[in-house]
Amino acid sequence: MPERLGPPREAPIFRRLALVGLGLIGSSIARAARRQNLATEIVAADSNAEVRARAEEIGLADRVYADVADAARGADCVILCVPVGACGPVAKAMRSVLEPGAIVSDVGSVKGAVMAAVEPHLPEGVQFVPAHPVAGTEDSGPDAGFSTLFAGRWAILTPAYGVEADAVERMRAFWEGMGSAVEIMSAPHHDLVLAITSHVPHLIAYNIVGTAADLEEVTRSEVIKFSAGGFRDFTRIAASDPTMWRDVFLNNKEAVLEMLQRFNEDLSALARAIRWDDGETLHALFTRTRAIRRGIVSEGQDAPAPDFGRPRE
């Protein structure tokens, strides 16, 4: 997938795009949508006064509100860019101003729970097209975003039942306009796949860094100071936003627990191989996983190294 943005669109897709939440993802969408001419007007809301002040200072949107309803009023597309646990309350807060035909979307890392929380608040005729950009960093806030974040990355759409095809196509065009490759799937399938490819890896990172920090305290040794490269990679992931990830785990409970059970069984098998000097089993697995990584890289689907060559504006 190409990691650069194409030329801006000649005609915008949306008349008024409303972004709720101007953190890493919301501010990246604001920057990309502006740069690519995807919306005539961009308005936004954020509950945090410091975020609003900073967003105004750097001109992220045409207008920035404290009240979600003020941003959603008159918008033909509203995208919720808040932690997944906040999506339901935000939908409730804007229900009275949403117009029939308007598209409501989100960027949450979990889809099933977000859809269940948001859908009951949407008035008749509003088109609900949830999305998840499979792109991000460990940073948060309005200064963390950049316009090329989604270029060369997947954006997964999980349209609600009965949604108009035109609304799905407009959201597809929107994400393609920001350089993403779009895939459509069901919410349960999304949540299962992302549980093993994103959620469990984050849990492992949080856990291993926590264990090392505890060990350091108990043994009074410099475990973290002398950590090798592998551990440093875990510390990047474990620096991710605590609120966002608390919400991800509490809202994708079943899939994460199912994948963790499987993971624990496979980990026990590896521990057994080590205990019984079963080098063959270890070597076979490591050979298979190396081939997987090399396959991903040669298809151009790997993420850029965290601190090296990260694409910016």
Ligand X SMILES: O=C(O)C(=O)C[C@]1(C(=O)O)C=C[C@@H](O)C=C1
Ligand Y SMILES: NC(=O)c1ccc[n+]([C@@H]2O[C@H](COP(=O)([O-])OP(=O)(O)OC[C@H]3O[C@@H](n4cnc5c(N)ncnc54)[C@H](O)[C@@H]3O)[C@@H](O)[C@H]2O)c1
Shortest Cβ 22–ligand Y spacing (Å): 5
Site residues (CB under 6 A) for ligand Y, limited to 239-278: 241, 244, 248
Residue 25 touching ligand Y (CB under 6 A): yes
Q: In whole angstroms, what is the distance from residue 79 CA to residue 246 CA? A: 21
Residue 109 touching ligand X (CB under 6 A): yes
Q: Provide the mask over 188-217, with x wherever binding to ligand X is found by CB under 6 A and - wherever it is not.
A: ----------x-------------------
Residue 48 touching ligand Y (CB under 6 A): yes
Of 40, 47, 137, 235, the one binding ligand X (CB under 6 A) is: 137
Residue 136 touching ligand Y (CB under 6 A): yes
Site residues (CB under 6 A) for ligand X, limited to 229-268: 237
β 154-157/63-65 pair status: unpaired
Residue 193 touching ligand Y (CB under 6 A): no
Q: Which is nearer to ligand Y, 38 or 86 (CB)?
A: 86
Q: In whole angstroms, what is the distance from residue 183 CA to residue 230 CA? A: 31
Residue 148 touching ligand X (CB under 6 A): no
Q: In whole angstroms, what is the distance from residue 138 CA to residue 148 CA? A: 16
Shortest Cβ 91–ligand X spacing (Å): 19
Nearest Cα to Cα of residue 110 among 158, 44, 63: 158
β 63-65/39-45 pair status: parallel
| E-state strands within 107-210 | 127-128, 131-133, 154-157, 181-184
Q: In whole angstroms, what is the distance from residue 149 CA to residue 216 CA? A: 36
Shortest Cβ 310–ligand X spacing (Å): 10
β 154-157/131-133 pair status: antiparallel
Of 18, 19, 38, 51, the one binding ligand Y (CB under 6 A) is: 51
Burial of 4 from C-beta contacts in 10 A (0-12 / 13-18 / 19+): exposed
Q: Which residues form the interface with ligand Y (CB under 6 A)?
A: 20-26, 45-48, 51, 68, 81-84, 86, 89-90, 107-109, 133, 136-137, 140-141, 241, 244, 248
